[in-house]
């Protein structure tokens, strides 16, 4: 089963759920805004993505531009920022076993669920 880190206000995240549903792919929704991740959960996701925290930050968000764009933060500091501001986390993130991906573009999602 695929776990989907989801933010319901995100149209791309909703469209991925729709795609999974239309293709009869079993998935579990984890709304990380309503039910924030713990530090350990976030670190586990980052490890599965093979990315540092700074690479999953939504850099087009006004909050990022206003507060964080000019800062040089460590990995632990970025993790703290993401835990305090889950809306800054790229979405959706799909997790299958020990691997994960940011769910864009849709072609990558199709490859991910088929393999």
Query: CA of 68: how far to CAs of 82, 83, 86, in Å?
Result: 11, 14, 14
Q: Is 56 a known active-site residue?
A: no
47, 41 Cβ separation under 8 angstroms:
no
C-alpha 112 chain-centroid distance:
15
**Catalytic: which of 1, 8, 10, 45?**
10
Residues noted as catalytic: 10
């Amino acid at each position: 089963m695929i776990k989907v880190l989801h933010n319901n206000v995100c149209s791309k995240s909703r469209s991925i759920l729709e795609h999974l549903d239309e293709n009869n792919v079993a998935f579990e929704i984890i709304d990380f805004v309503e039910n924030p991740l713990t530090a350990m959960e976030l670190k586990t996701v980052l490890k599965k993505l093979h990315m540092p925290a700074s690479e999953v930050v939504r850099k087009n968000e006004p909050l990022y531009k206003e507060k964080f764009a000019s800062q040089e933060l460590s990995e632990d500091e970025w993790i703290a920022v993401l835990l305090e501001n889950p809306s800054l986390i790229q979405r959706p993130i799909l997790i299958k076993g020990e691997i994960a991906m940011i769910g864009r573009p849709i072609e990558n999602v199709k490859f991910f669920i088929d393999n």
